[in-house]
Amino acid sequence: MLTLYYCPYACSMASHVALEEAGATFEAKKINIFTGEQHKPEYRAINPRAKVPALRFNDGRVLLETTAILGWIGTAYPQKNLLGVDPLERARTIAHCAWLSGTVHPTFKQFIHPEHLVADVSLHAAVKAQAKDNYWACLQEIDGALADRPWIMGDEFTLADPYALVFFPWGRELGLPIMKLTNLVALKNRLIERPAARRALEREKSVLLTI
């Protein structure tokens, strides 16, 4: 059996939804990163980076990083077409996930932890302001791409969809008017109507179910 280590409101939501959508048999173990549970020795032995998600296999091997976990799930359950139906579509889905991981997520972190970028406290307000603007631009880019399609990659659901929606409610933490992103709101509504995705969201008591 697979074991997914996740935390509600974290980017691990994408992997959680992905496993449900794949029809995988797995155990979901909550790690509360907001209370510091990720730093306990028991979890550090699984993921020394002290982050979620982590996906542990029966033989003890562990896969880290959301994009890698999503890629593995899509490859391990090919009949579900969770990454797309041909090599180019699958590559484009992974590329979009890499952008979410490598650009959108770090932009949010720059707002929450400006001290990780610059030590000078006098510069933190400027860093936060720029990060907020950049994050809003990212959300608008995602929203704009959805103007002519129901899902991130086109006409069919892929694992890029739950990953993109990780960042939608985080915009509220930055004081952004996320409900003006009507295409992202519609994407959220389509996701929660999917029985498999909803199982993961209900297990997490996800904020996506209430906004």
What pTM was computed for the model?
0.96
DSSP three-state, residue 28 = strand
In contact, 76 and 31? CB cutoff 8 Å: no
Mean pLDDT, rounded, of the chain: 97
Q: Which residues of 61-70 are buried (b: 16+ CB within 10 A; e: fewer)?
A: eebbbbbbbb
pLDDT at 1 over 90: no
Architecture of domain 2-80: 3-Layer(aba) Sandwich (3.40)
Give 37's DSSP letter. G
Domain ranges, ordered by start, for the chain: 2-80, 87-194
- Return d(Cα 104, Cα 100) in angstroms, integer: 5
Which pLDDT band holds residue 177 (cuts at 50, 70, 90)? very high
pLDDT digits (tens, 9 = 90+) for 13-49: 999 999 999 999 999 999 999 999 999 999 999 999 9
What is the CATH T-level fold of the domain 87-194, as seen in this structure? Glutathione S-transferase Yfyf (Class Pi); Chain A, domain 2 (1.20.1050)
Q: What is the dihedral of CA 191, 95, 7, 138, to 10 degrees?
A: -80
Q: What angle do CA 105, 13, 101 make, to 5 degrees?
A: 25
